[in-house]
Structure 1
């Protein structure tokens, strides 16, 4: 599956510091010290609807990590999946009366366009669940050899007890896991399971559903094993960062890690698990079921500058939970106008301090709000109260322009 086009990103004349991120598994800041290229896997969309601000916040957040690593001198191997066959997609397609594959293609293309407009760097490998079925089958076979697979009727399940570290990613107790598992697509009450938390690896063919051949009969992959297989195929075990929304810590990332760690004993799935916060609207987390979605594509069709959308997102720390309001967007539009006036002057306040402040902030758990504040301080110093206050740096505007693009993804 193809990704989207990559923007041209300027190279900064300085090298950024070592990047630290908050690791959910240890509940602490950890240094990322890639061995070779930095390796990151971020869970992608299930393409049954358009990209909303919650999605955008997550992918812009991890785009900051991609850029921070590059500015620190690392090459980056970035992988993202598309869950282009799963229950929500099939249910949506049936409800609106369209072919599920056509719906997946349409919404994936819209996602590409949204990411390109927001200047999110594309993954090196953008892989759909359907195209990863051979890798999924191979991983399930390996888990079977490890004694971690059993049948319930014609479906295959993973025994979470086969992973001695199960629970260490999300750090939840069993009661919390059971409650969340039921809320997020699990089936704890299914008869025949050895443990209520065991998750499906291969779902046998149901009437009217798509299916693919396998050694266990026709069917389709479970959700969690899809990401395990894709990540292992392109990144190997013990990659640097597994990313996604905080609602993926359990069960998705916990289960994916379990699959990988049983298949590769002694090696962690990822060295760090970073999770983005949830975005609300009208007092509730954005979700299709609540109908409280703000779509990136709708704003773009309304002639809203995508850089204003991105700036509105950057004003919130990627790990924070927050609520989208239209006022934030219009304030970002106004802010960009002020920034552009400062950049148009050419000369300006010294640029070295803002370069250092921005790179340091982003290396410290992707602290975009502090980086944005540092840029705002430079703009105010440059414009002064009655015009250009400080012309000591004749190349200031050019330097800050490159910084905004390379570090924050803002092309002004």
Structure 2
């Protein structure tokens, strides 16, 4: 029985979908004014892992993740590069897809863009005004936060504290426009030269929060199963989404709210673009194996903070190598496998897989799930070292390593082949070893290593893999 920690209730709850065997899931995507940093990547990988597990246990998942492609940062970046806001968006959306492909992240079912939904956003705001939850003021439209009775429940914020905080941080011009300091913008009046759209309140653009309310309900319905994002989105973004959406529809917005922990750097400081301490995925994959980065990002429980250090990346690389080496060693034994079947192997695998499911059913506890994966790795290593192996037994172990590892985004390549030239060098080295010509053998091994081919001498013969 799957249980999920619901940020809204601060409790683990049994997961029950609205539609049988169907999960409708929305995860806030990036504002596309720059490359994604690994803090963004952590959220993307965490919810991809969650999605993969839901699919593994039999759910069909409709996964929607948006692009915020117009806001103050987009306008500033466009001016800096002397291009249009849509051109900035196109550039970084293309880069986003390149980066997530490197991380072996599945594309969303739908990736809506805010600017493709302007009519729907305007209509949504009209309803809020008609219901008395919003008001126009000098070309801007604001939401009456205090009017929504549960405002602050998701984040645990106190209204009086919010009023004091807002009063200290908003400028005089904005203060004069608002009826209450905690009211937030649904529509922003365009400044001279800014990108804009026509609306009943004049030329302007949508506020950040309204975009996600509109796009999530458009593609998933007025009430859906899961809404996710980073902890930093609990307030104000997700708090405001709830207020807008439930005021507009009169229905519960989301059943389960999920938030991933931060990526931290030195001195336990949160990684963020605003703090200037971020490393982009785009740059990092140039020097780090993308599979190692993916494994690093996915191998800590999604709600826990993740410390980005060189040492932690190296440990992830070592652990990933252990999993892939065990898989490759056993896969190497498939050819010529003629041993007798061992009924106990399948039962051992099934017991380990049951342990993995038990861990993941506890709010996607990937760290405990990894313990089960390494039990499979140990079984694979022990089995592949036997004098003879059974093909069915070996394939059953491999199948389950690939399935469980695949939930974490690990890719196992069964189709690698060597060029005729390199294969001839491997064969030549095998002959040199047989002839006890160790100088030639060592020389060929070194040459192959320089070419990216790593050799391993096993009792069953020489096996190889491509470095990285």
> Contact between 1:22 and 1:365, CA under 8 Å: does it hold in 2?
yes
Correspondence list, 1:379-394, <5 A: 379-384=377-382, 387=385, 393-394=393-394
> Contact between 1:41 and 1:242, CA under 8 Å: does it hold in 2?
yes
Runs (5+) with no aligned partner, structure 1: 1-17
CA distance in 1 between counterparts of 2:377 and 2:405 reads 16
> Contact between 2:217 and 2:223, CA under 8 Å: does it hold in 1?
no
For 2:305, the equivalent position in structure 1 comes to: 321
Q: Which has the higher contact order (CA 8 A, sep 6+)?
A: 1
Instruction: Give per-residue Cα distances to partners, 1:65-85, cap 9 Å, x unaligned.
Output: 212221222211111110000
> Contact between 1:155 and 1:203, CA under 8 Å: does it hold in 2?
yes
1:86 and 2:84 matched = no
Identify which range, 350-359 or 32-41, moves more after superposition.
350-359
Q: CA deviation at 1:111?
A: 1.0
Instruction: Give per-residue Cα distances to partners, 1:201-256, cap 9 Å, x unaligned.
Output: 11011112100111221110000000000011111122111100001011000101
CA distance in 2 between counterparts of 1:147 and 1:273 reads 27
Distance change >3 Å, CA 42–CA 183, structure 1 → 2: farther
For 2:2, the equivalent position in structure 1 comes to: 19
**Which among 153, 172, 176 is matched to residue 168 of structure 1?**
153
Instruction: Give per-residue Cα distances to partners, 1:89-146, cap 9 Å, x unaligned.
Output: 2223334544332222111111111112222222211111100111101100111111
For 1:32, the equivalent position in structure 2 comes to: 15
CA distance in 1 between counterparts of 2:384 and 2:108 reads 45
Correspondence list, 1:6-405, <5 A: 18-36=1-19, 37-178=22-163, 190-265=175-250, 267-283=251-267, 284-302=269-287, 304-344=288-328, 345-346=330-331, 350-384=348-382, 387=385, 393-405=393-405
> Contact between 2:373 and 2:405, CA under 8 Å: does it hold in 1?
no
> Contact between 2:17 and 2:225, CA under 8 Å: does it hold in 1?
yes
CA distance in 1 between counterparts of 2:373 and 2:161 reads 42
> Contact between 1:178 and 1:188, CA under 8 Å: does it hold in 2?
no
Distance change >3 Å, CA 158–CA 388, structure 1 → 2: farther
Identify which range, 179-188 or 49-58, moves more after superposition.
179-188
Which structure 1 residue ranges, 4+ long, deviate > 3 Å from structure 2?
A: 95-99, 175-189, 346-350, 384-393
For 1:12, the equivalent position in structure 2 comes to: none
Q: Secondary structure, in 3 states, of the residue corresponding to 1:394? A: helix
1:409 and 2:409 matched = yes
CA distance in 2 between counterparts of 1:183 and 1:68 reads 44
Larger radius of gyration: 2
CA distance in 2 between counterparts of 1:243 and 1:263 reads 21
Runs (5+) with no aligned partner, structure 2: 334-344, 413-468
Normalising by structure 2, report the TM-score. Answer: 0.78
Identify which range, 31-40 or 93-102, moves more after superposition.
93-102
Q: Secondary structure, in 3 states, of the residue corresponding to 1:285? A: coil
Normalising by structure 1, report the TM-score. Answer: 0.88
Equivalent pairs counted in the alignment come to: 393
CA distance in 2 between counterparts of 1:181 and 1:381 reads 58
Instruction: Give per-residue Cα distances to partners, 1:311-338, cap 9 Å, x unaligned.
Output: 1112211111232012222222222222
> Contact between 1:205 and 1:211, CA under 8 Å: does it hold in 2?
yes
Instruction: Give per-residue Cα distances to partners, 1:361-407, cap 9 Å, x unaligned.
Output: 22221111111222123223432599459968432442234323542
